[in-house]
Amino acid sequence: MELTQKQAQEYKRSTKRQRSTIIDRYCKLTGVCRNVASKRFRKVVRNEKPEVLKKSAGKNRGRKPTYTGVHKNIIKMAWELSGEICGERLHPMMSEYIHELRIFGKLSAFDQSHVQEVETVSEATLKRMIITFPRTRTGKKKGNDSLYKQIPINAHFGSNAHKPGYVEIDYVEHNGGNSAGQFGITGCYVDVCLGWITRSAALGKSKEAVGLIHDANEERIYHHVFEYHPDNAKPILKLLLERRLNPKVLYYAISQSRPYHKEDNGHVEQKNGDKVRKLVGYHRYDRTEQIELLNQLYEVEDEISNYFVSSQKLKEKVVDDYGRVVSRKHTKAKTAYQRLVESGKISKTVKEKVKNIRKGLRLVELRKQSERIQNELFKKTF
């Protein structure tokens, strides 16, 4: 590039015959053709910035500024003392703030004439000065900052779709559109590879409530979980960290989603509408008997979803030249139970346990139980 810049300057000042010689020399040094060389020279000449004319050393025109940097420093001290309020609110109180600063000796380093001039500053001038002051960031730090530092962010958790034991976690609130008071929440756990789903509900969003949900869901996940992937909810992150320290618990990894990126937890997020909202609606559930019915309903519906309802998994996306998705190819539809039995990475003990459970299930009976519990739940709600 240095050679191109130097030769381009010489090329710019030369005649037509001299330019031919410069191009020949440049081509010999760089090994490029004449056409490329001339294009490079023209590009350098075209992008060259014009020289800035120096200003004359004469005096600045116009009147001298009334307020200098000293006045600005005094105003800034008063502005910070006020709590960085706006000019309209600061101007009527300016003399009082100056008085407070003077009592504590904060203005002893300034000339008193400058201080008096600041007291008479107009509101418009005061507002123009305040705009230039940098504002201090006093926003509250995220609670349990050390907690979030211990758990890595994994934006590509869905890439574990080829092996079982990687579970996404999400919570759905049942507040009926009013977040006041205590209400129920549903914890939804989904194995990314198998599509195995478990749901459970509890009253409140405390760590104890999240612990009850986690215990209930963990009992219905029969294979070993290698990693849990919740969003940024503090109760579940804290619970998973504390339980991992227990020597009796098999080790598992923990990762979290990026804030405000639901696609990081996409496999469980897409279940919220179909497996929770469609089932129990958007009503408010804030009583113990309602939570008990929700758990009974989820237990039945988990068996229906895992053993009898098939699903497809995305196999491939066909994209055009502009990056738009033209079509999607999916695998053959299978139930989560079928994927678990066919998996070569799950022990025979777990497979036998799941097969025995499947033998005792009848879809018609499960559907009747689900409808009965739903009707009872809605009677207690309305």
What one-letter code names the amino acid at 131?
I
Percent of the chain with pLDDT over 90: 42
| Contact partners, residue 97, CB within 8 Å, separation at least 6 | 78, 81, 82, 90
The 10s digit of each residue's pLDDT in 152-170 is 888 888 887 889 999 999 9
What Cα–Cα distance (Å) separates residue 135 from each residue in 79, 138, 139? 10, 9, 11
Q: What token pair was written down for 341?
A: 């039995």
Q: Single out the residue of 187, 191, 193, 153 nearest to residue 170, CA to CA.
A: 187
Q: Single out the residue of 329, 330, 357, 362 nearest to residue 341, CA to CA.
A: 357
CA dist 186 and 117 (Å) reads 64
CA dist 341 and 196 (Å) reads 12
Give the rounded distance of the alpha carbon of 46 from its chain centre: 43
Length of the chain counted residue by residue: 382
Half-sphere exposure of 151 (CA within 13 A, CB side): 29
The 10s digit of each residue's pLDDT in 98-127 is 988 889 888 888 888 888 998 899 999 999
Q: Is the pTM of this model over 0.75?
A: no
CA dist 103 and 269 (Å) reads 60
| Contact partners, residue 240, CB within 8 Å, separation at least 6 | 214, 228, 230, 252, 254
The answer to whether the CB of 27 falls within 8 A of the CB of 37 is yes
Q: Taken in order 171, 176, 177, 182, is the CA torsion positive or negative?
A: negative
Q: Which residues of the chain have pLDDT under 50?
A: 52-53, 140-141
CA dist 267 and 288 (Å) reads 30
pLDDT at residue 53 in the model = 47
Domain boundaries defined on the chain: 2-47, 69-131, 165-381
How many Cβ atoms are within 10 Å of 133's Cβ, its own excluded?
Answer: 13
| Contact partners, residue 96, CB within 8 Å, separation at least 6 | none
Q: Single out the residue of 263, 219, 222, 259 nearest to residue 237, CA to CA.
A: 259
Q: Look at the block and give the residue holding tokens 């190819």.
A: 329
Looking at the DSSP bridge assignments, the partners of residue 185 are 173, 202
The answer to whether the CB of 366 falls within 8 A of the CB of 303 is yes
CA dist 238 and 254 (Å) reads 11
CATH no. for 165-381: 3.30.420.10
The answer to whether the CB of 195 falls within 8 A of the CB of 311 is yes
CA dist 255 and 93 (Å) reads 52
What one-letter code names the amino acid at 103?
I
Q: Single out the residue of 297, 287, 278, 300 nearest to residue 382, CA to CA.
A: 287
Tell me the H-state helices in the chain.
Answer: 2-13, 16-30, 34-47, 69-81, 87-90, 94-103, 112-119, 123-131, 145-150, 207-219, 234-244, 266-269, 271, 278-280, 288-307, 336-342, 348-359, 363-381
What Cα–Cα distance (Å) separates residue 268 from each residue in 12, 90, 213, 228, 338? 64, 51, 16, 12, 20
